[in-house]
Structure 1
Amino acid sequence: MKKSQVIARYLQTQLNLLKCPICQSDFSSIQGITLTCVHGHSFDISKKGSVFFLNAPVKTEYTTEMLIKRQKIIQAGLFQPVLARISTLLKGDRIIDAGCGEGSQIKTIAQAHAANYFAFDISKPAINLAVSGADFAEKVAFFVGDLAHMPFKDHQFTDIVNILSPANYSEFKRVLAPGGQLIKVMPNAAYLQELRQLVYPTGANATYDPEPVQAHFLQQFPDSVLEQMHYTFDLTPDLAQALFAMTPLTWMATAGAAADVTSLQRITVDLTIAIAEI
């Protein structure tokens, strides 16, 4: 069976969780590989198995080459302890990954926690990469979608995962069911510090202050539980180059820094996992 048909069959069983991102009405049916809402707006499932829920493509700074590098180092285990911890924190079986990137993280979580997963990102190249691998999973549906207009009904989901990605807290609160939870992963000051020191040895970018992002989260969810994850990850020269290419931290790097990156033998992962119950 083709990927598009597999996802069509899966989404048919989950149609009551989705809503049309254009008119916010219910989807009435899936005919073949086409989702149609009660007002006639239709969305085709691609051959690779994703659904494009935007009015038009949005250009982002993440190129396909960068995303491939990101996929490589994530699949090598850069965030494995974090993903393993998230899989133990999930409460239910209707889970959104908001800002899923190229999909490696939610696929890893899905292998450890059986559930229905709905992952989306505004980047079409990221979603194309997410559905292109051999690790295709029937119960992980990937969408190209807008964080400000998520194609999900109100108060239907048990968990939202938001890993090192922008957030829309009003939308998150809208789609989470009572008792549901948001799991957000945010960087701490030492996150990728060896790479930062290589790229920005001095100046304003030489350090990172996590307080504004974390304070904003706590304003929204003052009763959250915060867990710290701090460890180092060993790098080969090849993985060091992938790390350099995957992160916005290096977008303004000099050619010299790019040449020196293979000297990095390990990298610090310093993150906060914030758990907020709705």
Structure 2
Amino acid sequence: MPVTPFQALACPLDGDPLTRTDTAWRCPAGHSFDIARQGYTHLLPVQNKRSRNPGDSKEMVAARRKFLNGGFYQPIAEAVNRAALADVPGEGTLSCLDAGCGEGYYLRQLATAAGERRTLELLGVDISKWAVLAAAKQDKRPAWVVGTNARLPVLSASVDRILCLFGFPVYSEFARVLKPGGQIVQVDAGPGHLRELREIIYPTVKPEKNEDTVAPEGFTTLATTAERFSLELTSQDQIADLLAMTPHLYRAGAEGIERASALNSLTVTVDVRITCYRLSDSAYPL
């Protein structure tokens, strides 16, 4: 299965096309961005950072890597792959951006599912340098970039698919970088997601409610599906890794974290909503 790095990167300072050399990406104005020895590139200017080290910490990335590589969220990956590859010709090239790629698990899963006759041009972008570093160490084939969804370092109308999983979508930027007819595959937590864990770490849990999915401006909804299954966690480490890769680690109080840390096993419900949006024809010209 041919997997190649995405090439249509844009300078984060002026938006002009970047050209790769052996050691750096450069734009016509002379801005240069070194390629780290691990294979990723930092395209997040300091003026676009809200903190010194934005995004997931090194510890959160390590926990997510262990948990996802354990196969616990494999059903989600398979559902995302089906959605991303639906109605795609069996041959040719498909460019895919994972906007908020984390340590790269879902792009690696997509590469495995794509088949032998289709070429994938892959790009993972995350605001966390620790996440992008972990992704680059695990798979050298995609392009890995430290960047922000608020100002993607990607040329306009250059991407076929965008994955946004448990992330922070910026639909205006997604519309800009998608090709005509391009699609977003978005995964969000459903009302019952990790409810059993939330009942342990929080004093009260809000009642479940289903929210209607409204297409963002410039897009039409193609399909919305639910993926729901149970996980059997059989060790303190597995429970700790799951908690560490979620925002609940920072939202819960000390007593709730202590209760979770005392558990040796836990059955939790995974409940996610997978929505596919298509860029409307009316979104052009941008």
Superposition TM-score, scaled by structure 1 size? 0.85
Contact 1:196 1:207 in 2 (8 A): no
Equivalent in the alignment of 1:171:
173
Q: Where does residue 74 of structure 2 map in the other structure?
A: 80
Q: Which amino acid aligns with 2:136?
A: V
Partner residue, 1:69: 63
Does the aligned pair in 2 maintain the 1:196–1:206 contact within 8 Å?
no
Deviations 1:113-149, CA, capped at 9 Å, x for gaps: 251110010111111122223xx242x1110001111
- After superposition, the Cα gap between the structure-2 partners of 1:19 and 1:79, relative to the gap in structure 1 and judged at 3 Å, is same
Q: CA deviation at 1:150?
A: 0.8
Q: Which residue pairs with 1:118 in the alignment?
A: 123
Distance 1:18 1:122 in 2: 16
RMSD: 2.2
What amino acid maps onto 1:249 in structure 2?
Answer: H
Structure 2 residue matching 1:110: 3-state secondary structure: helix
Partner of 1:42: 32
| Count of residues paired in the alignment | 259
Q: 1:137 to 1:84 in 2, by over 3 A?
A: farther
- Match for residue 191 of structure 1 among 179, 190, 193: 193
Q: Does residue 101 of structure 2 align to residue 100 of structure 1?
A: yes
Shift of 1:260: 3.2
Partner AA of 1:182 in structure 2? I
User: Aligned AA for 1:102?
Assistant: E
Distance in 2, matches of 1:218 and 1:170, equals 9
| Alignment-derived partner of residue 133 in structure 2 | 128
3-state DSSP of counterpart to 1:269: strand
Unaligned runs of 5+ in 1: 1-6
Compare 160-169 and 243-252 and name the one that shifted more.
243-252
Pairing 1:251–2:256 present: no
**Contact 2:102–2:126 (CA<8 Å) still a contact in 1?**
yes
Which deviates more from structure 2 when the two are superposed, residues 235-244 or residues 255-264? 255-264
Q: Which amino acid aligns with 1:124?
A: K
Contact kept? 2:175, 2:218, Cα under 8 Å:
no
1:132 counterpart SS class: helix
SS of 1:184's equivalent?
A: strand
Stretch moving more, 72-81 or 246-255: 246-255
**Alignment-derived partner of residue 269 in structure 2:** 268
**Offset of residue 162 of structure 1:** 0.3
Deviation digits for residues 136-190 of structure 1 (CA, Å, limit 9, x no counterpart): 242x111000111111111111100000000000111111111211100011100
Amino acid at match of 2:68: I
Identity percentage over the alignment?
29
Residue 282 (structure 2) aligns with: none
For residue 201 of structure 1, report the CA deviation from its aligned partner: 3.4
Distance in structure 1 (CA, Å) of the matches to 2:174 and 2:249: 30
Residue 83 of structure 1 aligns with an amino acid whose one-letter code is: A
Please give the alpha-carbon distance, in whole angstroms, between the structure 2 residues aligned to 1:247 and 1:85.
21
Q: Which residue in 1 is equivalent to 2:227?
A: 229
- Given that 1:199 and 1:250 are in contact with CA atoms closer than 8 Å, whether structure 2 keeps it comes out as no
Matching residue of 1:146: 148
Greater fraction helix: 1
1:176-225 C-alpha deviation (Å, 9 max, x unpaired): 111211100011100011111011131xx5456563xx645456644331
Q: Report the TM-score, using the length of structure 2 for normalisation.
A: 0.83
Verify the 8 A CA contact 1:67 1:102 in the aligned structure 2.
Answer: yes
Asked whether the 8 Å contact 1:74–1:105 carries over to 2, the reply is no
Residue of 30, 48, 51 corresponding to 2:41: 51
Q: Take 1:163 and 1:84, find their aligned partners in 2: how far apart are those partners?
A: 13
**How far 1:230 moved relative to its partner?**
0.7
